[in-house]
Amino acid sequence: MFTVKEVKTRSELMDFIKFPDKLYKDCAQYVPALHFDQVHSLTKSASLEYCKRKMWLVKDGSKTVGRICGIINPRYNERYGTKRARFGWFDCINDLEVARLLISTAEKWAAGEGMDEIHGPLYYNTLGKQGMLVEGYENIPPFNCIYNFPYYNDLMTGLGFVKECDWLQYKMVANHGVPDKARRVAKLVEERYNLHFGSLDELRKDRKMIHKFFRVYSDSFSQTVYNFIPFTDAEIEEEARMSRRFISDKVSCVLFDEHDEIVAFGISFPSISKALQKARGHLFPFGWYHLMKAMKDYETTDLMINGAVPEWQNKGVSAVYYKEMADKAAKMGNRWAISNPQVESNSAVNIWNSYEHEPFMRRRCYIKKIGE
Per residue in 121-168, pLDDT tens? 999 998 889 999 999 999 999 999 999 999 999 999 999 999 999 999
For residues 195 and 141, membership in a common domain is answered with no
DSSP string, 205-264: T-HHHHHHHHHHHHHHHTTTSTT--PPPHHHHHHHHHHHTTT--TTT-EEEE-TTS-EEE
- At 350 the pLDDT is 63
For residues 126 and 65, membership in a common domain is answered with yes
Burial, 358: exposed, middle or buried (Cβ in 10 Å; 0-12, 13-18, 19+)?
exposed
For residues 197 and 249, membership in a common domain is answered with yes
Q: Domain residues for 154?
A: 2-167+365-369
Burial, 284: exposed, middle or buried (Cβ in 10 Å; 0-12, 13-18, 19+)?
exposed
- At 307 the pLDDT is 82
pLDDT at position 118 over 90 = yes
342 falls within a domain: no
pTM: 0.93
Q: Looking at 14-23, 104-113, 209-218, which range is the least confident one? A: 209-218
Task: Assign residue 108 the CATH number of its domain.
Answer: 3.40.630.30
For residues 142 and 23, membership in a common domain is answered with yes
For residues 146 and 200, membership in a common domain is answered with no
For residues 192 and 306, membership in a common domain is answered with yes
For residues 220 and 140, membership in a common domain is answered with no
For residues 149 and 208, membership in a common domain is answered with no
Hey, is 175 helix, strand or coil?
A: coil
351 falls within a domain: no
350 falls within a domain: no
Domain count, the chain: 2
